[in-house]
Structure 1
Amino acid sequence: MRYFLLCTALVFCITGCSEKAESTVIKDDTWWKEGIVYQIYPRSFKDTDGDGVGDLKGIIEELDYIQSLGVTMVWLNPIYSSPNADNGYDISDYRSIMEEFGTMEDFDAMLKGMHDRGIRFIMDVVVNHSSDQHEWFLQSRSSRDNPYRDYYHWWPAEKGKPPYRYSLFDAAGDAWKYDSITDAYYLHYFSQQQPDLKWENPKVRQEVYDLMKFWAEKGVDGFRLDAFQFAAKDTTYPEFPDDLEQNFIQYYAMQPGLHDYLREMNQEVFSKYDVMSVAEGAGRNFEEAHELVDADRKELNMAYAFEGVDIAKPEGYSLAHFKEVFSRWDQEFAEKGWLSIFLANHDQARLVSRFGSDDPRFRAASAKLLNTFILSMRGTPYCYYGDELGMTNIGFDSISLYRDIAALNGYEKVKLAGGDLETYMANLKFSSRDNGRTPMQWDTTLNAGFSSGTPWLPVNENYKTVNVAVEKEDPSSVLNHFKAMVSLRKESPALVYGAYTLLLPEHEKIYAYTREWEGQKMLVILNFSNDIVTLPVPVEEELEDLLLNNLPQVYYKDRVFSLEPWQALVFTLGPLQE
């Protein structure tokens, strides 16, 4: 027989904890540790002019919604002027706003609106490469003796074929692009339209520091450095081994000079402003990750590592492996350095489709569980727009529906090689970045309330039930659980700084751990499965208060749980039993 315990805990936290969270003050010297990041993909958040593309006014319209989530920081993907070969990650002017998104006046109004609501703003800085339409590159390619020639990596054709480099986005896979104007090749680790800047040139570095100061003076509160672990190159351009494509991180990341650039950036920019700094990637090993973020290094504030997010595969994943990876990273940074905690971003498919369940029976519960995990681990949590609703993959069947340059060029690459396009499309359906970029689902009206025009990407068909308007009114929704979990984290230092102890490391379905800080100890129990799991209480202490439950009921008797599929529980623990 199963007994019911504390079924009202979830509702209590939604109505009570949020009020407490409003009065929580983040200490000035640790705001980036104690904060919660909400990442917005601006093209997909809210369109106010009917062109099908999200804009800054759309974000301004929804600032009260963002504030209602309880998050303390917003990271916005690039909004600079761009030809949009890679949705804004190819920048043609670092000091102006993309016309599709609005104006600088819109930006200023958005930033003020965030600051008025106690929300800090994190700017995406893309300086491993620029657009091929940036004035620097237009000048650089115009002649070999142009003053901007050395802003990029060039290989004169008379020297013969350049040493092979792999391009992550190019269909042909070659990162050297021939340019007839000066009879030379330029280097692009990403697409042809994204030539790599030559960081070895001090003039390039000063240009970057100046543009970062421009935004810091405007009041930007932090910088996320896109693909920056690739910025340093060996300009002798040595031959790389044949396994470059499979192991490009080993050969491209953390090359000599990178730490010098980051220390210089810190001295020139970070140290002069109260800004947070994080780079995409955390090196090739723990030693390199610490070299990036340990305070005495005077480089960056936090690591943003991909080992955890890369676990999900179309065929599924091992929870034991999942636990091992996150526990290993926590242990490594327990005493020194600081981590980012995330399971989704603009370069990933949807969180619930990769790590939870798309099955309508379990979608909401698994989305709540995954948000509980992200918001109960040590490190700064990064929450991606729409995941607070449990938005899912859209899963296009035709390559013609995709917009992502990586998906399109990858398809052409497989096609050129005579590869298996059916398998490629099946994998794309699970993992494509476009899955995580579909329009935000606001309500049940046309296009989910995202736009009055034709959206740049189709809206997911489930928007009639998965949207803000519906979930806001449902106390048991994914949205309201997210708000409750944010509130709990903000009022619980143990969830921010507390020691993490993994329990039941070999259990195939349960992820359980404690967080302990200055006399407060909390237990988190997560059932990562579609099954009911019977589980003895995995600690000796008494279960004191049930702080959060993602389902209506908890079945418990004689210190034994009967956990429902995808159930997530957070308890405080009392003294040890006699």
Structure 2
Amino acid sequence: MEKLNNKRWWGKEIVYQVYPRSFQDTNNDGIGDLQGIIEHLDYIKSLGVSTIWISPIYKSPMFDMGYDISDYQDIDPQFGTMDDFDELLQEAKKRKIKIIMDLVVNHTSDQHEWFQRALSSPTSPYREYYIFKTTRDEKKPNNWRSIFGGSTWTEVQGEPGTYYFHTFAAQQPDLNWENPELRRKIYQMINWWLDKGIAGFRIDAITHLKKDLDWASIPADGIDGLAAVIKKGQNRPGLDLFLNELKRETFDKYNALTVGEAYGVPAEDLKKFIGPNGYFSMIFDFSYMNIEVKSADEWYRGKTNWTIAELKHAFFNSQRAVKIAQGWSANVLENHDQPRVLSKLIKNTYEQTPNAAKALATMYYFLPGTPFIYQGQELGMKNFKREKIDDFNDVSSINNYKMALQEGYSHAKALEIVNSKSRDNARTPMQWNDEEFGGFSKSKPWLKMGNDREGIDVRTEDKKSDSVLNYYRKLGQLRRRPEYQDIFVKGELEEIQDVPTNVVAYRRVLNNRQVIVLVNLSNEKQMLQNFGGDIILNNQQTLQKDGEKLILLAYQALLLEK
């Protein structure tokens, strides 16, 4: 692609994440496809979106829904063909929409040609593309536990005592980034996609590339006698060598947008990741996205009793860290790995209303950084409730369920935990209308529909001026209006602290102008000082005042201009 000259051109972007498998099925096989994305480009554009992030569409056996890639340079037939992808690029470009892909380079599928060649012979050069270890006593090399449960080591069939390493599932063997030849092949592939015309990548599991090369066992942290792999294989010393080279050999050449999924990055390292010369344009911050669980990876260990005060602290602490790093934020409430935010952050089911969805949207949308919208978030889609583990597809959910049982949880409690945190919550088919299969397909979808759908679909909400969908459209329009764009992109952030605990409040300040954001995240009225100024956005019909005080109704959100 042609190099985009503006160094931080992505500062004004609004990004929409498509999970293709669940977005729109056009050939009625129950699975979403690339033609389905093309069909709805105008809908996506109506949200003010200028960049689409597409979850993996590469050829894959789909053990982990495309995050197990068997061919980096081919489209999986379930989604279409490379011609379909080229058409998507062209149609998006007509609408001034850029496309970024998901980049998964910590591991491949065990069906990838490289791994199959590695298995073919102990002397195959492709053994050096992955991580193999042979032990004398035929015991596993160490006691590390994979993120999806069980050992990180799987024995090679027909070779007793020889094992390969996988941070995630056994079907996802880790690539050996210590091998320069492997890295060169990865860079060639990345540049091939950038030459094709994509604008960049969201980069999966990127802090896992470097492992501690002592491969030593560590004290167990579970009754299985294993210890979490992240202690030895996440954000480890030496990772910077890989990430600097990756950036130099690929992204820098194209001024590409890069969004890192970067778990485990301490605040003091943030400048290396997203500073002026950082590895990436921006990274996701999971401090607030995983606020409701004790462990992001082993979430069967239980939920936290988080408070609004803690949520505010996480939000603003994240922004302060990014500012110190002279970086840029990827502001996000939902993605394909997270439950629906309305169900997650609004604890009482009866309070999970359109106004609450609008309040959450307002809370994050005007923070410094680039707002990301996950498909269906703009409708106020909610979590499902499944009655048995067989109703789940997600490998992480199934493994967390098994680990919960192993740790002594009852079946009912384990199922309750999985229902609340399962990645399948975000992967239910998009709700285009109120028909049986939501307008997603005329055939039975690959994953059951959500079961709390009344009034929550595009056809219904499109007709209602006060719907969550049309509110998100207003957010996009407001952020793009010439008189406000600079203040939202370049303005300083000032947290307003002298407000009730349940109110999130901040200013965006540029020169002599300021926009004040006030969000009541409770079901009770909140009284606070009257900040004055003109109302430029109100998610409810009225605004109450009491003399010198403002009264925010339950889940009321305001933008004021001074």
Normalised-by-shorter TM-score class: over 0.9
Cα separation, 2, equivalents of 1:460 and 1:338: 34
**Out of 494, 501, 509, which is 2:502 matched to?**
509
Question: SS of the residue aligned with 1:461?
Answer: coil
Which has the bigger relative contact order, CA under 8 A and spacing at least 6? 1
CA contact (8 A) 2:340 2:426 kept: yes
**Out of 327, 330, 334, which is 2:323 matched to?**
334
Cα separation, 1, equivalents of 2:264 and 2:218: 19
Kindly report which structure 2 residues correspond to 1:123-522, keeping only aligned pairs within 5 A, or say none.
123-158=101-136, 160-161=138-139, 162-170=141-149, 173-183=150-160, 184-243=162-221, 248-297=229-278, 299-313=279-293, 317-335=306-324, 336-356=326-346, 359=349, 362-491=352-481, 492=484, 493-504=486-497, 507-522=500-515
- Over 3 Å counting, the alpha-carbon distance change for 1:458 and 1:197 in structure 2 is same
CA contact (8 A) 2:218 2:227 kept: no
1:548 is matched with which residue?
Answer: 537
2:297 is matched with which residue?
Answer: none
1:58 is matched with which residue?
Answer: 36
1:534 is matched with which residue?
Answer: 527
| TM-score normalised by length of structure 2 | 0.92
CA contact (8 A) 1:357 1:366 kept: no
The CA deviation at 1:50 is 0.8
Cα separation, 2, equivalents of 1:400 and 1:522: 49
CA contact (8 A) 2:143 2:227 kept: no
Question: SS of the residue aligned with 2:437?
Answer: helix
CA contact (8 A) 2:380 2:468 kept: yes
| TM-score normalised by length of structure 1 | 0.90
Cα separation, 1, equivalents of 2:110 and 2:16: 30
CA contact (8 A) 1:141 1:182 kept: no
The CA deviation at 1:83 is 0.3
Cα separation, 1, equivalents of 2:479 and 2:552: 23
CA contact (8 A) 1:280 1:304 kept: yes
Cα separation, 1, equivalents of 2:402 and 2:221: 21
Q: Summarize deviations over 1:405-431 as a string: whole Å, max 9, x none.
A: 011122233334554322211111111
- Over 3 Å counting, the alpha-carbon distance change for 1:362 and 1:135 in structure 2 is closer
Question: SS of the residue aligned with 1:158?
Answer: coil
The CA deviation at 1:358 is 6.3
**Out of 63, 70, 73, which is 1:95 matched to?**
73
CA contact (8 A) 2:500 2:526 kept: no
Matched letter for residue 349 of structure 1: P
Cα separation, 1, equivalents of 2:232 and 2:203: 19
Cα separation, 2, equivalents of 1:212 and 1:395: 39
Q: Summarize deviations over 1:127-180 as a string: whole Å, max 9, x none.
A: 10100000100011111110101111111132542111111113xx21111112
Cα separation, 2, equivalents of 1:289 and 1:160: 41
- Over 3 Å counting, the alpha-carbon distance change for 1:497 and 1:282 in structure 2 is farther
Matched letter for residue 404 of structure 2: V
The unaligned stretches of length 5 or more in structure 1 are 1-25, 574-578
2:25 is matched with which residue?
Answer: 47
CA contact (8 A) 1:282 1:289 kept: no
Name which of structure 1's ranges 236-245 and 49-58 shifts more when overlaid on structure 2: 236-245
Matched letter for residue 259 of structure 1: D
**Out of 100, 110, 116, which is 1:122 matched to?**
100
The CA deviation at 1:45 is 0.4
Question: SS of the residue aligned with 2:136?
Answer: helix
1:576 is matched with which residue?
Answer: none
The CA deviation at 1:252 is 2.2
Question: SS of the residue aligned with 2:453?
Answer: helix
Cα separation, 1, equivalents of 2:539 and 2:348: 17
Identity of aligned residues (%): 37
Name which of structure 1's ranges 136-145 and 282-291 shifts more when overlaid on structure 2: 282-291
The CA deviation at 1:508 is 2.4
CA contact (8 A) 1:127 1:197 kept: yes
CA contact (8 A) 1:143 1:181 kept: no
The CA deviation at 1:457 is 1.2
Cα separation, 2, equivalents of 1:84 and 1:206: 26
2:6 is matched with which residue?
Answer: 28
**Out of 531, 543, 553, which is 1:564 matched to?**
553
CA contact (8 A) 2:145 2:228 kept: no
The unaligned stretches of length 5 or more in structure 2 are 294-302
CA contact (8 A) 1:77 1:123 kept: yes
Cα separation, 1, equivalents of 2:240 and 2:98: 27
Cα separation, 2, equivalents of 1:44 and 1:364: 23
The CA deviation at 1:44 is 0.5
